[in-house]
Amino acid sequence: MARQNRACIVGIGQSQYAKWGSIKEVSELSLACDAIIAAANDAGISPKAIDGFASFSNDRNEPGVLLNSLGIEQLRFTGMVWGGGGGGSCGSVSLAQAAVESGQAKYVIVFRSLCQGQSFRFGQFHPWTEHACFTAPFGMLAPPQMFAPLVRRHMHLYGTRSEHLAEVALSCRSYANRNPRAVMHDRILTMSEYLSSRMISDPLRLYDCCLETDGAAALLVTTWERARDLKGVPVEILASQQSSGHLWGTGILGGHNMPSATYASANAKQLAEDLYGRSGVGPEDIDVVQLYDAFTGMVLFALEDFGFCELGESGEYVAQGNLRIDGKTPCNTSGGILSEAYIHGLNLVLEGVRQLRGHSTSQVETAKLVLVSGGESVTPTSGLILGV
């Protein structure tokens, strides 16, 4: 495909990020519109020119309502990635890429809006969900309880320690302390505070678990040909993909019937192969990563599945400081889901764009290639490789 017809991200935007339940005077729809308008303004187009929407995880802001709220002149494309949580965060970008490269739409907005204090809250036990009948009898009523066995298995197999999980949390918090947009911007975290924090679901402590926040994030996808006439600095989508491994089924959200060989993993080994194959790069070429971090253990699993270290070596890899800004694999440089905001991972894509534009609050000077992962250990998961 000629470069002018390939997809790029040309605008990013976000609403205020705040602790869940603290935004009472603004609706979830309004938050979505704030982020979408900001992304359109960043690109230099009128919101009326948007002609497509893509989202994931059953976002409640329906295209027909956004159409009228934003004054859109013609809607040509809508798409939603199935699956719970943030597994579809990068997959929604893939939908937008397909829409603009195939000519179905010109300007597609990818967005995620959450205002859990006003409606359904993710992470609580909801007996009407299709997974509850499999997990509830075993006390797996919330995601920390569902994910904890995978981390314990990793510890059993490879000697992973709580201090290794702590390094993920501390690294993300240190980046958030540089980021004024982060919910935890002014909250320092130390190793002693981490180790003394309460146990949520053994071996996961309080700081191993992501934030619960309200807010919205959005990005605008178009072709390089159109991007030439816009003010936004374009970032190329080198590869995007959804994926799941064999027999994973509903993964941690369901029966825990994944194969033993991949149980303590990100369910992303094949995804990594697809992304590297389609982009023509390898893990040694990646300058920055944005790895979905609903739990610290997810980052360890992703480092292994995406080839930044060998199986079972992620604990020591992070202990060497490799997630820090001067390490081999700077990770979640806005603070991630653990310390910036829980927007189901779409905020990680925005940070990847900022790194490649040179606008991050923890800028990696050599950033030319960024890998972003969707929610690990779920079905489907997804990923992106972005470049300039």
Residues 53/111, Cβ–Cβ less than 8 Å = yes
Q: What are phi and psi of 319, to 5 degrees?
A: -60, -25
Token couple for 99: 């829409």
Single out the catalytic residue among 107, 175, 194, 342: 342
CATH homologous superfamily for the domain 3-119+214-235: Thiolase/Chalcone synthase (3.40.47.10)
Q: How far apart are CA 337 and CA 270, in angstroms?
A: 24
**Phi-psi region for residue 71, left (φ > 0), alpha (ψ -120 to 50) or beta?**
left
| Lowest mean per-residue pLDDT among 79-88, 117-126, 245-254 | 117-126
7, 222 Cβ separation under 8 angstroms: yes
Report residue 199 as tokens.
């146990």
- Say if CB 57 and CB 88 are below 8 A apart: yes
Strands 7-14 and 213-223, sheet pairing: antiparallel
CA distances from 3 to 7, 102, 222, 224 (A): 8, 13, 12, 7
pLDDT above 90: percentage of residues in the chain: 84
Is-cis flag, bond preceding 203, omega within 30? Answer: yes
**Domain spans, the chain:** 3-119+214-235, 133-206+238-387
Cα–Cα distance between 44 and 366 in angstroms, integer?
A: 27
Q: Are 345 and 88 in contact (CB under 8 A)?
A: no
Q: Which of 242, 267, 241 is nearest to 252 (CA)?
A: 267
- CATH number of the domain at 133-206+238-387, please? 3.40.47.10
- Beta-carbon-side half-sphere exposure of residue 64 (alpha carbons within 13 Å): 0
pLDDT at site 334: 98
Q: What is the DSSP string of 209-277?
A: B---EEEEEEEEEEEHHHHTTSSSPPEEEEEEEEE--TT-TTGGGTT----GGGTTS-S-HHHHHHHHH
**Does an H or E element contain 73, and which?**
none
Helix axes 346-357, 89-101, angle to 10 degrees: 60
Q: Could you report the per-residue pLDDT of 195-238, keeping only the tens digit for each?
A: 999 999 999 999 999 999 999 999 999 999 999 999 989 999 99
> How big, in percent rounded to 5, are the helix, strand and coil portions of the chain?
40, 20, 45
As to burial, measured by CB atoms within 10 angstroms (0-12 exposed, 13-18 middle, 19+ buried), residue 222 is buried
Question: What pLDDT is stored for residue 210 in this prediction?
Answer: 96
380 cis-preceded (ω within 30 degrees of 0)? yes
Is residue 317's pLDDT more than 70? Answer: yes
At 251, the pLDDT band (50, 70, 90 cuts) reads: confident
CA-CA distance, 278 to 307, in Å (whole number)?
16
107 in catalytic set: no
> Among the residues of the chain, which ranges form H helices?
28-43, 63-70, 89-101, 132-135, 143-158, 162-176, 191-196, 224-227, 269-279, 296-305, 314-319, 336-339, 346-357
Distance CA(281)–CA(276), nearest Å, equals 5
In this predicted model, what pLDDT tens digit does every residue of 319-366 receive, in sequence order?
999 999 999 999 999 999 999 999 999 999 999 999 999 999 999 999
Please pick, among 107, 194, 276, 292, the residue that the annotation labels catalytic.
292
Report the pLDDT averaged over residues 246-266.
89
* 3-119+214-235 shares its CATH topology with 133-206+238-387: yes
Q: How would residue 249 be classed by pLDDT, with cut points 50, 70 and 90?
A: confident
Sign of CA dihedral 251, 254, 259, 262: positive
Closest CA to 388 of 368, 364, 363, 359: 368
Contacts of 128 (CB under 8 A, 6+ apart): none
Looking at residue 212, what is its pLDDT?
Answer: 92
Here the tokens at position 15 are: 């609403």
* Residues 59, 236: Cα–Cα separation, whole Å: 25
For 82-100, write each residue's pLDDT tens digit: 877 899 999 999 999 999 9
Tokens of 196: 């003394």
The yes-or-no answer on residue 292 being catalytic is yes
Do 243 and 382 meet the contact criterion of CB atoms below 8 Å apart?
yes
